[in-house]
Structure 1
Amino acid sequence: MSRPSRLVGLRLAGAAAACMLVLVACGTGRTGSHDDRRPPAHPPVTTTTGDWRGVAEALGRTGTLSDGSVYRVPLPRTDLEVTSHGVGIEPALALGGSANFAQYHDGTMLMGDLIVTERELPRVTDALQKAGIAQTALHKHLLAQHPDVWWTHLHAMGRPVALARGVKAVLAATGTPPAPRTPATPRPLPLDTDRIDHALGAEGITAGGVHRFVFGRSGPVTDGRHLLPHTLGLSTAIAFQPLGHGRAAVNGDFVLTADETQPVIRALRRGRIDLVELHNHSQDEHPRLFFLHFWSTGDGVTLARALRPALEASAVTPAG
């Protein structure tokens, strides 16, 4: 199948993003603002997988390099058996935490999230404080879940190996299992993924028992003097888990600016898609970003069609 065309209208957002990037690089901040004079934002340094060998050794887990700059180490909770509205949740649908590292001009940035049980949460908070890693958000991604699990977001700047050691100490306060020795073999899904791709205007990836889409913000996002790529966790994610006979559970989150939140909520509700959470993941990003988590079950293609207007109401582009 040929790759579906990108979302209609989002190309314009991408063009606007290029203009915004120039403004940020020049230190003017918001479009049309002359009072918000921010310092120039620097992109992450280009690295190789070998540059992150010390991080992998300190964590005891290997990651993958995205866009030549972000080293992502997956931290799925494959040990947990979680249900939401009676649906058994695949780790790839909603239980896949990660630690993401990027090298900047002034040090290494750590951003990520961990999935923890309610019993583990106090120990995890104490371990994060001891390691000097900020806990920037705490929330849930699922409705009517059992057992109760929480998502805690992380942020720190420092030396890469020291940051990795801190994350490992935090993981020791959880039941997060060791990394698998060999990657799981992808298996075909009982879903019409071609029609789901067409409905969303993007090409999804099948892995871990789900069909998944990622959309990055069209405009630049900064944290102080750091330009943040979407691979640091600043992306809209949508995943379809098959339930049989073409039906699916759909879960994920939209990354939004404040003025996009209400149009997206209205679009989701028109498609009878439930809201789970609306919150921030970070504390000092610009523009301010909100993450809207959602949940629904039904015919997979129908759900994809219902999600399309919500995507078109936000400035994102398919990111693979």
Structure 2
Amino acid sequence: MQRLKTLAIATAMSILTSTAIVAGPSFDTASIEKITGLKGQYTETEQVFKISRPRTDVQVNVDNWKMPPFMGLTSWAAFTSGQDHLMMMGDTVLFEDEVNPVMSAAFESGLEVTALHNHFFFDNPKVYFMHIGGMGNEITLANGVKHVYETIDAIRKAKPEPQKSFDGEIPSISTISAPPLEELFGKKGESKDGMFKISFGRASSMHGKPIANAMGVNTWAAFAGTDDKAVVDGDFAMLPNEMQGVLKTMRGGGINVVAIHQHMTDEEPHYLFMHYWGKGRAADLAKTIQKAMKTQSP
């Protein structure tokens, strides 16, 4: 009798295990494949479905070596179930002229951008990696990834070779008028050789010591060129929950994001930093920067 009970329990466990294996993912992977046009792979142990897209359209050389996509030039997006939604995370291989249009495409689709950086030195053309994420359902997230990839395709179809500069010239002699910018920012800045720079410190601490503006915990903007043909570059200090608002506002004003990373590891609160580059009228650029600052906590 005991033997029969043991056999029955073992059989039931075997059926349950087989059912779990057959069940596979709890979300619609077929829709993800259909929308993106990419075949995916399901990792049962982690319950993750992943699609990938190697960059084969442009040859990349790293350290004077023709680099195959297998060695790290492949975009991907991975999907897994959360408590009440589907979660997506991905990494997207981009050339310099693709980064900002693709970032805007991600925002248009309701996705988040969480990092932007390089993986190589001596790469030609230069390659950047933009991390994306989102929460929602299969249809929404897959369409977001599709929009990101279609934006890349449209850029390369229009110009097969990546651009080597942003559109618009930068005057060789700088004559930026400081007073209008100081009035707009509500703070005195620094002028030098016709250029203008302004900085806004933020509060943090490290190893029990307060740190702020002078230690690099700041948002700053530097202007060169002329009032009508200006270039601005700078850095944004952002708390993690501020980053999406800042990025969306900067892109909405046409300012290019060129890096998103951390500068420190043990500060409290922890800051992320975004570097940017923009061209246009100095006042318009300043208004976009100020607008982005207003999305942050006081």
The normalised TM-score by structure 2 is 0.43
Q: Which has the higher helix share?
A: 2
The normalised TM-score by structure 1 is 0.40
